[in-house]
Amino acid sequence: MRLHIADHPLVAHKLTVLRDRGTDSPTFRRLADELVTLLTYEATRDVRTAEVAITTPVGPTTGTHLTSPKPLVVPILRAGLGMLDGMTRMLPTAEVGFLGMIRDEETLQATTYANRLPDDLSGRQCYVLDPMLATGGTLAAAIAYLFERGADDVTAITLLAAPEGLEALRQAIGDDDRVQVVTAAVDERLDENGYIVPGLGDAGDRLYGVV
Ligand code: URA
């Protein structure tokens, strides 16, 4: 598994405002969106491309375009939805599939309650969106599921990751280089309730309100 921590002043600035408990939902949504756009730039360095011949107003040249099959973006409901627009703005030709996963607050185990993905993911590059890599259970299950369906490689984009979650993912995935995690920061630890410390609280609640 490869890990990329986006080390950039704009990323750090936006993340700091997201962490602040005084930041309201509309501001949180806008900043999460902007942050994901920056993370997408890093996460798509290996997106598949091909050369294409074009003609500029001045003459012929060779350029680059994204190839088929199109990348598949998979937000994990519900908090991953807050990352979708920021990603598809940069990758407008990508298709979007949905995975609904919830973790039991007692056992911290992830279960799938909704799934809307193409049946066959053969040859697809997948980008999973989940803002908080906490215990790693949700992402490990989502990544395993995408590979079962035939995905070629999977990049998980998160706003924050906990060391415990990264370690759990490494245990689940091993040294499979087809998996990459791109995150804005790795925080200190998880607390006894499975929240990332210092973190930013419950990402879904901060995006969409407490349910
Ligand atoms: N999910 C969240 O929304 N926040 C955390 O800190 C951990 C998991």
Say if ligand 1 is within 6 A of residue 15 CB.
Answer: no
**Whether the Cβ atoms of residue 136 and residue 165 lie closer than 8 Å to each other:** yes
CA–chain centroid gap for 30, Å, is 16
Inform me whether the pLDDT recorded for 21 exceeds 80.
yes
pLDDT of residue 104: 75
Query: Residue 129 and residue 196: Cα distance in Å, rounded?
Result: 17
52-85 per-position pLDDT tens digit: 999 999 999 999 999 989 999 999 998 999 999 9
Give dist(CA 169, CA 183) in Å, integer: 14
Percent of the chain exceeding pLDDT 90 equals: 88
d(CA 119, CA 74): 14
pLDDT of residue 166: 98
| Atom of ligand 1 lying closest to residue 203 CA | 3
What is the reported pLDDT for 108? 67
**Tell me, what's the pLDDT at 177?**
94
CA distance 135 to 43: 21
Q: Is 202 a pocket residue for ligand 1 (Cβ < 6 Å)?
A: yes
176 within ligand 1 shell (Cβ under 6 A): no
Question: Per this entry, what is the length of the chain?
Answer: 211
CATH code of the domain containing 40:
3.40.50.2020
Domain count of the chain? 1
Is pLDDT at 37 greater than 70 in this prediction? Answer: yes
What confidence tens digit (pLDDT) does each residue in 87-140 have?
999 999 999 999 998 777 777 677 888 889 988 899 999 999 999 999 999 999
Give the closest residue (by CA) to ligand 1 atom 5: 195
pTM, two decimals, is 0.94
pLDDT of residue 132: 97
For residue 76, what are the domain limits? 2-208
Residue 210's pLDDT band, with cuts at 50, 70 and 90, is: confident
- DSSP structural state of residue 67: P
Question: In this structure, are residues 137 and 102 in contact, taking their beta carbons and an 8 Å threshold?
Answer: no
pLDDT at residue 102 in the model: 78
Residue nearest to atom 3 of ligand 1 (CA): 202
pLDDT tens digits, 147-193 = 999 999 999 999 999 999 999 999 999 889 999 999 999 999 999 99
Q: Among 158, 192, 202, 211, name the best residue to mutate to test ligand 1's pocket (greatest count of ligand atoms within 8 A of Cβ).
A: 202
pLDDT of residue 200: 98
- Report CA(17)–ligand 1 centroid distance (Å): 17
